[in-house]
Amino acid sequence: MELRVLRYFLVVARAQSISGAAHLLNISQPTLSRQIKELEEVLGVTLFRRGNRKITLTDEGMLLRKRAEQIVDLVQKTEDEFAAVEDSISGTIHIGGGETHAFQMLAKLIRDIVEQYPDIRIHLFSANAEDVTERLDKGLVDFGLIIGTFDVSKYDYTRLSVIDRWGVLMRKDSPLAALDAIHPEDLWGLPLICSRRVMENGQLSNWLKADSKRLNVVVVYNLLYNASLLVEAGVGYALCIDSIINTTGDANLCFRPLKPSLESHVHLVWKKYQVFSKASKIFLEKIQR
């Protein structure tokens, strides 16, 4: 597989049209069709379903799209690192992370870095811990901001001086909003909107003192913003981390902490034995100080 053909494939997948992709790529439609057909022959699979007006990805095509995006991103990251001028500090720092108010600490650090080194660029990738560690393993991000536990045999890390506090995000007109804190029995039988990571590691069911199969979990979310819209619409109560969604002033939502408290440490992690660019070294040195 050639990198050029993978890029062609991604344009076709986004345009959902050979002719439209050919126009964007400034090549002829027969040439592009031949390249895609040869790619399918090399892989031994059908990548697209041909329709009358548009083409869509098959299951194999969706898998290749994910891998092709990762490959193209990694190549671009490598080119950026080698393009850095040898006698100056430049380059790109790739950071992945979940939603946590600990990012405020990184935001101040990033501000200082870009002010001191104007040729450094920052690329952010927001996702849950599973997706962030996958990108770490593939070399697509330099650092990951991880909430809670992770595999210390695979990653080096530094613990940030921030602890995330778990609680319940709810409408201000909810009966539970009158409480100062939420106890496990307060949530039994209520429609819950829960973080996928918390569901998978058993943290939620342990705190709720109930079998997760017996809980009324109506939605499992990855990132909190869309979940907060469901809360506002009255779908249920979201178990989440404090200070991610605005609950001040005229906001329709409020946050109540859990009791007994449920807290998670936040770590900045990176692959063991990783070779850092100059820009990444500066970032790591500053965060460790």
Q: Are strands 91-97 and 120-126 parallel, antiparallel or unpaired?
A: parallel
pLDDT digits (tens, 9 = 90+) for 220-262: 998 899 999 999 999 999 999 998 898 988 899 999 999 999 8
Query: Over the chain, what is the mean pLDDT?
Result: 88
Give the integer Cα–Cα distance in Å for 42 and 98. 37
Distance CA 240, CA 236 (A): 13
Taking a C-beta distance cutoff of 8 angstroms, is the pair 2, 72 a contact?
A: no
Distances (CA, A) of 119 to 7, 34, 35, 93, 115: 27, 41, 37, 11, 9
User: Could you tell me where the DSSP H helices lie in 26-166?
Assistant: 29-43, 59-83, 103-116, 129-137
Please state the pTM of the whole predicted model.
Answer: 0.67
CA 35, 36, 41: angle at the middle one, nearest 5?
95
pLDDT digits (tens, 9 = 90+) for 162-189: 888 999 999 999 999 999 999 999 998 8
CA distance 55 to 51: 5
Instruction: Report the largest interatomic distance among the alpha carbons of the chain, rounded to a whole angstrom.
Output: 67
Whether 199 shows a pLDDT value over 80: the answer reads: no
Q: What is the pLDDT of residue 123?
A: 93
Q: Lowest-confidence range among 25-34, 67-76, 210-219?
A: 210-219
Return the structure tokens found at 38.
């040869």
User: For domain 3-77, which architecture applies?
Assistant: Orthogonal Bundle (1.10)
CB neighbour list of residue 64: distance below 8 Å, 6 or more residues apart: 9, 43, 47
Listed in order, the ranges of the chain carrying CATH 1.10.10.10 are: 3-77
Residue range(s) of every CATH 3.40.190.10 domain in the chain: 85-162+266-288, 165-262
- Residue 85 scores a pLDDT above 80: no
The CATH number of 165-262 is 3.40.190.10
Most confident region among 255-259, 274-278, 279-283 by mean pLDDT: 255-259
Short-list 65, 40, 66, CA closest to 32: 40
* 85-162+266-288 fold: D-Maltodextrin-Binding Protein; domain 2 (3.40.190)
Contact assessment for residue 48 and residue 36, using Cβ atoms and an 8 Å cutoff: yes
Highest mean pLDDT among 20-24, 83-87, 130-134, 180-184: 180-184
Query: Please, which residues have CB within 8 angstroms of residue 188's CB and are 6 or more apart in sequence?
Result: 208, 210, 215
Helix axis angle, 18-25 to 3-15, nearest 10°: 130
